[in-house]
Amino acid sequence: MTTYGLKFLLADQTALAPNQTGAQIKFFATMVIFMVILWMLMIAPQRKKAKELEATLKALKAGDKIVTSSGIIGVVLSIKDRTVSIRSAETKLEILKTSVAEVTDRGGETSESKS
């Protein structure tokens, strides 16, 4: 009886051998689909927001009302290469351009000259 049980186990073992190539193709296809979905849901919107912020910082000018990433609300006084001078309440602050989160009001100086 033990030989019959042994033959039965050996016969099932060869019949249950899966197709390794097909399983690998399914695995890699699933991973590719997962990565595409991840990119669409997380990375693409983040890139879009970064481009919008970069455009906002390039268009920043004196008189604009801004909010910093730490929540400080102020009016832009002057702009340098890496920093922005703002007035918040009665305080003058110099912050990095990268800490500007959004421009709430475009109140910049106009380039019209009065005669």
Is 47 found in the same domain as 13? yes
Query: Per-residue pLDDT tens for 50-104?
Result: 899 889 888 899 999 999 999 999 999 999 999 999 999 999 999 999 899 989 9
Whether residues 100 and 70 share a domain: the answer is yes
- Is the same domain home to 45 and 69? no
Kindly provide the residue ranges of all beta strands, DSSP E only, lying in 1-115, ordered along the sequence: 65-68, 73-79, 83-88, 91-96, 100-105
Query: How confident is the model at residue 32, as a pLDDT?
Result: 94
Domain that holds residue 83: 61-105
On whether residue 111 sits in a domain, the answer given is no
Range 27-47 average pLDDT:
91
Is the pTM for the entire model greater than 0.85?
A: no
Q: What is the CATH number of the domain that holds 101?
A: 2.30.30.100
**What is residue 1's predicted lDDT score, i.e. its pLDDT?**
52
The terminus-to-terminus CA distance of the chain in angstroms comes to 113
**How remote is the C-alpha of 99 from its chain's centroid?**
16
- 33 and 68 assigned to the same domain: no
In a domain, 110, yes or no: no
Does residue 115 sit within a domain?
Answer: no
Residue 31 and residue 14 share a domain? yes
φ, ψ dihedrals at 48, nearest 5°: -60, -45
Q: Are residues 65 and 50 in the same domain?
A: no
